[in-house]
Amino acid sequence: MHQGCAAVLCVLAVLGLEVAALGECELARLLQDKLRYEMRLQYMKHNFPIDYALRVQHEEVLRTANITRLRDGKVSEASLRYLWFHACSQVVLHILEVLPEKHPSRGYTQELSQLLDALGMEYSGYRQSDVDVVVADLVKQLHSGNSRQKAVRPKALLDNCLKVLRMLFGAHWLWDARGLWDA
């Protein structure tokens, strides 16, 4: 964890505040930090069997091309972030479902889940009318479980989460403490 993020969490712990007290921007920064390449590689590739893939719904594989297509369709940025949140939350839940209690990747995945839960608090005030119809339909499909499935590696799923995070939240929001991007 970067020193800046660790300091924020330490201060929050001392003050007795929870991660949910952070805003959308800071939560996005913390998620970016947790989704660093080295961590995704260690926890989602090296700690899984070779060529291991999860069965996930087609809509859970949210790529930058999907976001570009939706932007071209004039979908609002807030709706796209809402969709990204739901897709990434579902991905992390699927990964948690397959991990045994003592798996070395479980703690990392639970931390991602907690950050996404805190981000969910930011979106909890959204009503159906606040979200574009196409996004509302996609989120409904995500949670229905009735979509076609595909096999995807856990690391690839989190790679997509990070790429879309960077695309949606913009470079000026996600610079780390050194002002550098990771791979």
Rounded CA separation 158/39 (Å): 10
pLDDT tens across 34-58, in order?
999 999 999 999 999 999 999 999 8
Tens digit of pLDDT for each residue in 122-148?
878 776 667 899 999 999 998 888 888
Query: For 137-160, b where at least 16 C-beta lie within 10 A, e where not — what string?
Result: ebbeebeeeeeeeeebebbbbbbb
Angle at 89 between CA 33 and CA 149, to 5 degrees: 125
What's the pTM? 0.79
